[in-house]
Amino acid sequence: MDEIRTITDKYDESYIGEAFQSVEGLNRFALIFCKDVSSIYDCLTRIKNVERNLSGFSLDDAPVLGLLVRVWKLLTEITQYYEEDKAEIISILERPLIEASVVATYLMTHGSDVIEDYRKCSYKDRLRILRDLEKGAAFYETKAGKRLLASVREKMAFEQLTPCDFATQKQNRWKIQGKSFYDIFSEVEHADLYAATYGMMSESIHGSWNESLDWCLVRNEDGTFSPYPFYHPADVRFICPTLKFTNKPFRLWLQRIDAYDDNLGSVLDWIERVNLALFRKFDTLYDGPPAHG
């Protein structure tokens, strides 16, 4: 807790008040705030109740913890690209960040059978590797192929799984409980948020005409297009909406492992309050990006 308190102590009234006077101040504040939230998340992944988990976490908990570590690592990378003013790269990282947060929340609001299903679903392509081996694929005679094959076998042996243990996953087309991510997102968050967040973010991964219009092209006065060979600057909009998704699973995790208390709860409440105030103030002051061309 001392490590977290060191992070939050600098956010006094004068520091926040000064930053909230302009869009530029808000953007600088957002960078520092996001770095600090990432550090807090790192601390939270390292907390444990030794009475419950003397050494580490079981297979019922470890999948969730792995997703939370993924969340803070991705958030750390987002802050780096924010600092470098590379907004479109942030867009690429935000989608897996939201997915990890939503899936972690979903797993913690369901039973251990769902967590087992989640683990098994990850073996889809690894089982294909075993099938390819049986068919005599030459790749698995190479050093690289043998290393990959050994890794698959070691993981399955650790979980005491055989190729015959995945009937349910095959029937559900390798989706958790047979649900699409849209179904999971709608249950954990709200269906109305999907299109404007995770849905549109697919374009940052796969590319699209609209993605090119937003990031890679400039429209000329005569209706033609030219390349836009620069990165777009990042601002508050590339951080605040994302933190709406990330805070919830960390709160649930602390409750799950019997480590939640008023102090840690107040830290998570503080993140939510500052994040909301930051976005609202930015929305009040922001008049849109300058034209480029």
Per-residue pLDDT at 229: 94
Q: pLDDT for 279-291, tens place per residue?
A: 999 999 987 665 5
C-alpha to C-alpha distance for 201 and 223, rounded to whole angstroms:
27
- The answer to whether 87 touches 234, Cβ cutoff 8 Å, is yes
Q: Against a cut of 0.75, is the pTM above it?
A: yes
User: Greater confidence, 45 or 137?
Assistant: 45
pLDDT score of 293? 43
Confidence band, pLDDT 50/70/90 cuts, at residue 133: confident
| pLDDT of 33 strictly over 80 | yes
Percent of the chain topping pLDDT 70: 98
Q: What is the mean pLDDT of residues 79-92?
A: 94
pLDDT averaged over every residue in the chain: 92
Length of the chain: 293
Residue 227, SS3? strand
Judge whether 41 and 267 are in contact, CB under 8 Å. no
Q: Are 115 and 63 in contact (CB under 8 A)?
A: yes
Q: Which residues contact 270 (CB under 8 A, 6 or more apart)?
A: 8, 11
* DSSP for residue 207: -
Q: What percent of the chain has pLDDT above 90?
A: 78
What is the distance between the alpha carbons of residues 110 and 108, in angstroms, rounded to a whole number? 5
Task: Tell me if residue 199 falls in helix, strand or coil.
Answer: helix
pLDDT reported for residue 13: 82
- Token look-up 């690894």 returns 126
pLDDT digits (tens, 9 = 90+) for 39-58: 999 999 999 999 999 899 99
With 90 as the cut, is the pLDDT of residue 94 above it?
yes
Q: In 3D, which of 269, 85, 103 has the Cα closest to residue 188?
A: 103
Write down the pLDDT at residue 290. Answer: 55
CA 72 distance to own-chain centroid? 8
Q: Under the phi-then-psi rule, with left for phi > 0, alpha for psi from -120 to 50, and beta for the rest, what region is 178?
A: left
Rounded to 5 degrees, φ, ψ at 288 are: 100, 160
Domain boundary assignment for the chain: 2-113+177-285
pLDDT interval class at 195 (50, 70, 90)? confident
Query: Rounded distance, CA 195 to CA 72, Å?
Result: 24
Q: Which residue has the higher pLDDT, 73 or 207?
A: 73
pLDDT of the residue at 12: 84
Average pLDDT, stretch 116-141?
Answer: 92
Q: Contact, 211 vs 203, CB < 8 A?
A: yes
How large is the average pLDDT for residues 147-171? 95
| DSSP states of 231-259 | PPPP-GGGTHHHHHHHHHHHHHHHHHTT-
Comparing CA positions, the residue from 85, 93, 76, 65 lying closest to residue 34 is 76
Contact status, residue 68 vs residue 46, Cβ threshold 8 Å? no
Q: What is the pLDDT of residue 14?
A: 83
Q: Which of 34-48, 72-86, 134-148 has the lowest mean pLDDT?
A: 134-148
Confidence band, pLDDT 50/70/90 cuts, at residue 266: very high
Give residue 95's pLDDT. 92
**pLDDT for the residue numbered 117:** 98
- List helix spans (H) across the chain: 2-8, 13-19, 23-45, 62-83, 87-108, 112-121, 124-134, 143-158, 167-171, 181-188, 191-194, 200-206, 209-215, 240-256, 262-285
Give the residue-averaged pLDDT of 11-25.
Answer: 88
Q: Return the pLDDT at 78.
A: 96
